[in-house]
Amino acid sequence: MTDVDSSILAQVRDWFGDALPERLGVAVSGGGDSVALLHILTRCFGENGPEIHAVTVDHGLRAESADEAAMVARMAGALSVPHDTLCWEGWDGAGNLQDQARRARYRLLSRWARSSGIEMLALAHTADDQAETVLMRLGRAAGVDGLSGIPERRIEGGVTFVRPLLGVTRQALRAYLVRNAIEWVEDPSNRDDRFDRIRARRALEALQPLGITVTALADVARHMAQARAALDWYSFLAARDVARLDAGDVLLDRRGFRILPEEVARRLLARVVRWVAGGEYPPRRAPLAAAIDAVRHGRRVTLAGCVVGGDAVSARVCREYAAVRDTRCAAGGIWDGRWRLNGPDPQGCEIRALGRGGLDACPSWRETGRPAECLIATPSVWRGDELIAAPVAGWSGQWRAETMQGDEEFFASFLSH
């Protein structure tokens, strides 16, 4: 083993530290980066480390993909590593292919990992991937979050995805493969200038004389990730001061919110809206800025499936009725991704938004202290056209409504991504 190889292996070992799972998954496409990761992990940990399981996602978009998956299976077998191939068959030819393929890949990988008892899955993103990501996001005028690039760790679908090679360049990995006579395949899409990432790769080559290199941009991402963590911490502290939960809504103390720095206020309200609406991404900057202004000055706005209203003392962020009007599930199911209702005799019942007509049938809704605009978007129990219960609106009918997550998870969400 050369000194360079030893250095790469030591870097990966140090990255994991003592946080090694019992089983470690590794996604291997057959390309150079992921093939190198598979070999590095097996050499790093051998018989004394975690049990390594390899997996390949075959998107079925190229004629060669099945052969490449078979090649990875043979390679894994030679290393005594179990291997599975997952096939994606969900693309209908519409929409953004790369985005849909990425989402499908993570869904398949998460499902595979959970079914295999694997809590951690390693991906082969490199310093080059990080640099290309930062460069593309610069072109979109990204802020701190965007420029923090690809995270080293991310929990998705109950699985922790890790990227131990973000500090290693693609060139170093290719040299590792050549030195160790390890074969890999080149994806022809890596030369296709129709893709933004490939154009960013070409631009990076041209920018090197200015000192804008892979290493420099990867350092920018690391610095921004540190800044992001600090901002998240102060947003968490601010939420502790100004926010409280009320039956699925979030109340914000206007006086405390007004004195928050702009970026902290932006993060806080964005997280609140995602918490209430269950959105995957934060709201866009312009409508979010308008909502921040509304919270400060007591105005009402709608934002990303939420209503931002309230009274002179507190802003209330609740679900917007139009966003859940057609959302239904069987009694005992999870409604709107966050509510569960339980009660007697659920046979033939379904859960749906209360609506104005349902609210009119709740004689004591005003005693809850919650606005009608918010209550009509809360879950209620129906049997056909008959309202059986509306627990949040003060008419329980022996039914109980609970959010799937409470105060602890809400505040913790400011520190996780």
The DSSP annotation for 54-96 comes to: EEEEE---STTHHHHHHHHHHHHHHTT--EEEEE-----S-S-
C-alpha span between 134 and 148 (Å, rounded)? 7
Tell me what the mean pLDDT of segment 143-172 comes to. Answer: 94
Q: Give residue-wise pLDDT tens across range 200-226.
A: 888 888 888 899 999 999 999 999 999
The pLDDT of residue 19 is: 83
The pLDDT of residue 292 is: 98
Q: Quick one: what percent of the chain has pLDDT higher than 70?
A: 96
The pLDDT of residue 417 is: 61
Q: Map tokens 């919110």 to a residue.
A: 257
Contact 299, 316 (CB under 8 A): no
Least confident window among 89-98, 154-163, 200-209, 343-352: 89-98
- Please check the confidence at residue 179 and state whether its pLDDT lies above 90: yes
The pLDDT of residue 61 is: 67
- Please check the confidence at residue 190 and state whether its pLDDT lies above 90: no
Contacts of 384 by beta carbon, 8 Å cutoff, 6+ apart:
348
Instruction: Say whether 146 counts as a known binding-site residue.
Output: no
Phi and psi at 106, nearest 5°, equal -70, -35
Instruction: Say whether 29 counts as a known binding-site residue.
Output: yes
- Top-level CATH class of 3-212? alpha beta
SS3 173: helix
Q: Map out the domains of the chain as residue ranges.
A: 3-212, 234-319, 323-405
Which one-letter amino acid corresponds to residue 317? V
Tell me what the mean pLDDT of segment 104-123 comes to. Answer: 94
The answer to pTM > 0.75 is yes
- Top-level CATH class of 234-319? alpha beta
The pLDDT of residue 18 is: 85
Contact 370, 246 (CB under 8 A): yes
Band the pLDDT of 176: cuts 50, 70, 90: very high
The pLDDT of residue 192 is: 64
Instruction: Say whether 32 counts as a known binding-site residue.
Output: yes
Q: Give residue-wise pLDDT tens across range 54-99.
A: 999 987 667 778 888 999 999 999 999 999 999 887 666 566 667 7
Contact 328, 350 (CB under 8 A): yes
Band the pLDDT of 170: cuts 50, 70, 90: very high
Least confident window among 112-116, 153-157, 234-238, 389-393: 153-157
Cα-trace Rg, the chain: 25
C-alpha span between 190 and 289 (Å, rounded)? 38
Q: Which two tokens stand for residue 342?
A: 């339980």
Instruction: Say whether 241 counts as a known binding-site residue.
Output: no
The pLDDT of residue 97 is: 63
SS3 117: coil
The pLDDT of residue 89 is: 78
Instruction: Say whether 360 counts as a known binding-site residue.
Output: no
The pLDDT of residue 90 is: 66
Alpha helices in 261-415 (DSSP H): 262-277, 285-297, 321-324, 355-360, 372-375, 407-412
Tell me what the mean pLDDT of segment 21-42 comes to. Answer: 96
72 alpha carbon, distance to own chain's centre? 28
The pLDDT of residue 206 is: 87
Contact 252, 243 (CB under 8 A): yes
Tell me what the mean pLDDT of segment 224-247 comes to. Answer: 97
Band the pLDDT of 319: cuts 50, 70, 90: very high
Band the pLDDT of 193: cuts 50, 70, 90: low
Contacts of 186 by beta carbon, 8 Å cutoff, 6+ apart:
31, 32
Helix axes of 65-78 and 32-45: crossing angle, nearest 10 degrees: 20
Q: Give residue-wise pLDDT tens across range 356-379.
A: 999 999 999 999 999 999 999 999
Tell me what the mean pLDDT of segment 268-285 comes to. Answer: 93
Q: Map tokens 């969900």 to a residue.
A: 90
The pLDDT of residue 66 is: 84
Contact 35, 174 (CB under 8 A): no
Contact 52, 41 (CB under 8 A): yes
The pLDDT of residue 325 is: 96
C-alpha span between 166 and 14 (Å, rounded)? 13
In sign, the C-alpha dihedral spanning 389, 393, 395, 401 is positive
